[in-house]
Structure 1
Amino acid sequence: MAEEDIRIRFGNRLRAVRNQAGISQEKLGELAGLHRTFISMVERGERNVTIATVEKLARALDCGLYHLMPDSVE
């Protein structure tokens, strides 16, 4: 079985954490200082994010960076 691209796995994980937090893409973008369309593109695996962006997203979601990493154990 071929592994999914890390961008897709990260996007899926980000979406799951965001949904669990009960916030919209627009609200996440606002909290992280990022545009809603950027959040959407990240969740679809269309954008490659920097570690600085991962940190912004984690802070906005009030979680550790590791929570956003695919295949992490909580």
Structure 2
Amino acid sequence: MISDRNIDIRMKLGKILKSMRENAGYNIKDFSEIANIERNGYSMIEKGERNVSVGILCKICTALNSTPAEIFKAKEFCREEKSENDKPKDIELSEEMLDKINMKKLGIVIKKNREKAGLSQQKFADANGFNRNEINRIENNRAQPNHDLIMRTCYLLNIDLEQFLEDFK
């Protein structure tokens, strides 16, 4: 079953992609040809009716001369301030939570979830806006991931932060 949160994320992503496409001066037909993706599938992505794969997202970004990181930094993805009662449990990864995470295990958890999603380090890095060497260093505990990487990892792999952190208990 698809949660309301996932639908909301798809809708936000669709709005961002539509805005970027229109700002680039393309209609859906021309853009889907340039991006080398099926027109109906792309239309469904813009409407928030379909999830976008990492591969399709990379094709879209190439056609828009953009990166996934730029898309996820768009203001539509910025969270609005809400009262404590309105915030879902996984809305933010606080510095305190980050400090409690076993950083050596974090690389293993990221790798496990990336492989479970069937992504190579390169595709995962491209979708996250990082280079493959940085992902490799994190997975092999030679570097520590930052807050953005953890949050984007959860988003890209469609994992709630709470579920992701479950591996550390």
1:41 alignment partner, one of 28, 32, 44: 44
1:19 aligned residue: 22
1:71 aligned residue: 77
TM-fit CA distance, 1:15 = 0.3
TM-fit CA distance, 1:39 = 1.3
Query: Mapping of 1:51-62 within 5 angstroms?
Result: 51-62=54-65
Higher relative contact order (CA 8 A, sep 6+): 1
Q: Which runs of 5+ in 2 are unaligned?
A: 79-169
2:53 aligned residue: 50
* TM-score of the two chains, using structure 1 as the length reference: 0.82
Deviating more after overlay: 16-25 vs 59-68: 59-68
SS at match of 1:34: coil
TM-fit CA distance, 1:62 = 1.2
What count of residue pairs does the alignment treat as equivalent? 71
TM-fit CA distance, 1:67 = 2.8
Q: Which runs of 5+ in 1 are unaligned?
A: none
Amino acid at match of 2:25: G
SS at match of 1:11: helix
Identity %: 31
Q: Is the 8 A contact 1:26 1:35 kept in 2?
A: no
TM-fit CA distance, 1:40 = 0.9
Amino acid at match of 1:35: E
Distance in 2 between residues matched to 1:26 and 1:66, nearest whole Å: 25
Which 4+ runs in 1 deviate beyond 2 A?
66-72
* TM-score of the two chains, using structure 2 as the length reference: 0.39
Considering only aligned residues, what root-mean-square deviation do their CA atoms show, in Å?
1.9
